[in-house]
Amino acid sequence: MNPALSLGELRLAELREFYRAELFDQFVPFMDRHIIDYEYGGFLCHADRRGNLLSTEKVTWYVGRGVWVYSFLYSHFGRNPEFLAVARKAVEFLMKTRPATPGTAWPKRFTREGKPLTPPDPEVYGDLFIAEGLAAYSLASGEGRWRREARDILLQCVRAYDSADYAPEIGQTYLGPDAPPLAGARVLAVWMVLLRLATQMLEAEADAEIEAVADRSLDAIFRRHLNPEFDLMNELLAHDFAPAPNPYGQLVYIGHAIETLWMGMSEARRRGDESLWSTAARLFRRHVEVAWDDVYGGVFRNQRDVDRNIWDVDKVLWEQLEVLVGCLAMVEHNGDSWACATFERMFGYVRDRFRLAAHGLPLYMFTADRKATFTPDADRIENYHLPRYLMLNLLALDRMLRRTAGTGR
């Protein structure tokens, strides 16, 4: 096959059609029928695989992410006014629920109508996802005030994260409920979200303060969190960037590293920095190869202890998708042969093990055991990583197809 028109056995035009159908014939209609709250705004993501609601509570993360998804859909895929209306209604919900005290974070959870169910979130992720949504909504709507709002939230989050008493939920995410606290921890996942938000905002408009956030994030990711002994990224460091005490010194949450590294490639592309691109691409490959399950396929997400080689062996959809985003970016950039082969292998794995069409169900499993065993029940619909993967890879394929058409090959 012509390598310009295929990824192994996957022809680009056929792959593009697959993605288009998954996004517009599956995901968008499912969200429309079951998940979008047209009455109050936002997204009701606590539903089973068929879309039956299990709870009407709303999660700040999912509302902010949903604003981004529908704003991005509108801006990049036909400017459908229905997409913009969904984003607008969700923005109105967020503004209605914004804390009255300046500098206070949104709560994590609300009732359907917008009554807070939790205190202000001690972590910055929820507010950063809101900022990402508002920045994308500003581009979609043409209303600059939402970019200014996103900017203010971003810088507020940086100030909160720089506090020595910043308190991430380490045990719940990484090592279980008995994990010791690590006040003021520097967290790879926070730099990841900061970098992605900064990249997108800077692609739209230059801003010295946001550029400084991107610079800090890159320095933290590639100089601080990268452990030279492992050539892998520690998820957690002490507040002063010193190595964290064990058990955290041995912890590599490799799913976040893989996700972070394609975002590093995206920022390198924005900057036109080939050296940064090469570093990010090399480390992306390194982390994917270390995380790969040679027995059952796919990638593991959490290496609890590097030296003792202790892993959580469950599989999560979002991490598999991050591999596909990063691999296609590498193929688009320079036709990387490893990325081409790895994309083909991972694409088949996700299609065969996570996609639910073979079971007569829509969409994909979000979490699974090591073998990615089908389970009929679930309590959440994933409204961010799946559509982001589909949209980013659709746009990459469009660019690749245009390029090959321009060469006459």
Its sign, for the CA torsion 168, 170, 172, 174, is positive
Answer yes or no: are the C-beta atoms of 151 and 201 closer than 8 Å.
Answer: yes
In angstroms, the CA 278 to CA 78 distance is 34
Please name the residue ranges forming H helices in 98-220.
125-141, 144-161, 170, 188-204, 208-219
Flag whether 31 is in a domain.
yes
- 346-377 burial, b at 16+ Cβ within 10 Å, e below that, comes to bbebbeebbbbeeeebbbbbbebebebeeeee
Nearby residues of 66 by Cβ (< 8 Å), 6 or more positions away: 42, 43, 86, 87, 90, 133, 383, 384
Flag whether 325 is in a domain.
yes
In angstroms, the CA 50 to CA 108 distance is 25
Residue 170 has phi, psi (to 5 degrees) of -70, -50
Show the domain range for 323: 1-35+314-404
Answer yes or no: are the C-beta atoms of 164 and 239 closer than 8 Å.
Answer: yes
Matching residue, tokens 């060469």: 407
Flag whether 268 is in a domain.
no
**Residuewise pLDDT in 10s, the chain (409 residues):** 344 567 888 899 999 999 999 999 999 999 999 999 999 999 999 999 999 999 999 999 999 999 999 999 999 999 999 999 999 999 999 999 999 998 899 999 999 999 999 999 999 999 999 999 999 999 999 999 999 999 999 999 999 999 999 988 887 789 988 888 898 999 999 999 999 999 999 999 999 999 999 999 999 999 999 999 999 999 999 999 999 999 999 999 999 999 999 999 999 999 999 999 999 999 999 999 999 999 999 999 999 999 999 999 999 999 999 999 999 999 999 999 999 999 999 999 999 999 999 999 999 999 999 999 999 999 999 999 999 999 999 999 999 999 988 765 5
Flag whether 228 is in a domain.
no
In angstroms, the CA 242 to CA 224 distance is 8
pLDDT for residue 1 = 34
Answer yes or no: are the C-beta atoms of 372 and 353 closer than 8 Å.
Answer: yes
Flag whether 335 is in a domain.
yes
Tokens standing for residue 233:
């990224």
Matching residue, tokens 């559509």: 387
Helix, strand, or coil here: 286?
helix
Q: Which helix (H) or strand (E) is 302 found in, with range?
A: strand 302-305
Matching residue, tokens 């209609």: 29
Number of domains the chain contains: 1
In angstroms, the CA 215 to CA 108 distance is 29
* pTM greater than 0.95: yes
CA distances from 196 to 7, 63, 129, 132, 259 (A): 27, 18, 10, 9, 10
pLDDT for residue 407 = 65
Flag whether 81 is in a domain.
no
Spatial CA neighbour of 23 closest among 64, 58, 70, 59:
70
Flag whether 282 is in a domain.
no
Flag whether 157 is in a domain.
no
Answer yes or no: are the C-beta atoms of 30 and 81 closer than 8 Å.
Answer: no
